[in-house]
Amino acid sequence: TQRMVRELENVENVMAVQLGFAPLLADDIILLNLEMCLGEVPLIFALPHEQVLTLGRKLIDNGASAISVASPRGAIHDKAGNLITGRMYGQSLFPRSLDIVRSAVMSGLPIIGSGGVWSQADVESMLKAGAMAVETDAQLWVPKEAGV
């Protein structure tokens, strides 16, 4: 992680680096990554919903520039009955994400809103709740001509 951040510091127009980590990784390991990666570019830490208000404060106090809300993980069975795990996306995530952003702002955390942001109205709601920026979901990247 440290080497990657150092490489990105030398790339023109890289304004910040967002770091995400495996689920259930110990807070100490994430804080150590912050310490090792602090440098010239701002660091944004993507945290699971459960860690935004707890670990988020520690990261900001130790030099992180912002926190973002990581996509939650889930599981589903495929057609063959195998359990598939991964990150969840979609509009249904928005109410929970907006509530996390609101709580983070109330506690003074610089937060980037994300999770279920599928419309301009969602972006505006995140900004109105106090998000410093907003990450959009895939829906806003699909051209209208695609008919999706």
Q: What is the pLDDT of residues 49-59, one digit of tens each?
A: 889 999 999 99
Average pLDDT over every residue of 112-131: 94
Does residue 23 surpass a pLDDT of 70? yes
Q: Is the pLDDT of residue 148 over 70?
A: no
Spell out the domain ranges in the chain: 2-146
User: Using H for helix, E for strand and C for coil, what is the string for the chain?
Assistant: CHHHHHHHHCCCCCCCEEEECCCCCCHHHHHHHHHHHCCCCCEEEEECHHHCCCHHHHHHHCCCCEEEECCCEEEEECCCCCEEEEECCCHHHHHHHHHHHHHHHHCCCCEEECCCCCCHHHHHHHHHCCCCEECCCHHHHCCHHHCC
Examine the pLDDT at 145 and tell me if it is beyond 90.
Answer: no
CATH of domain 2-146: 3.20.20.70
Whether the pLDDT of residue 98 is over 70: the answer is yes
- pLDDT reading at 141 higher than 70: no
Quick one: pLDDT at residue 73? 87
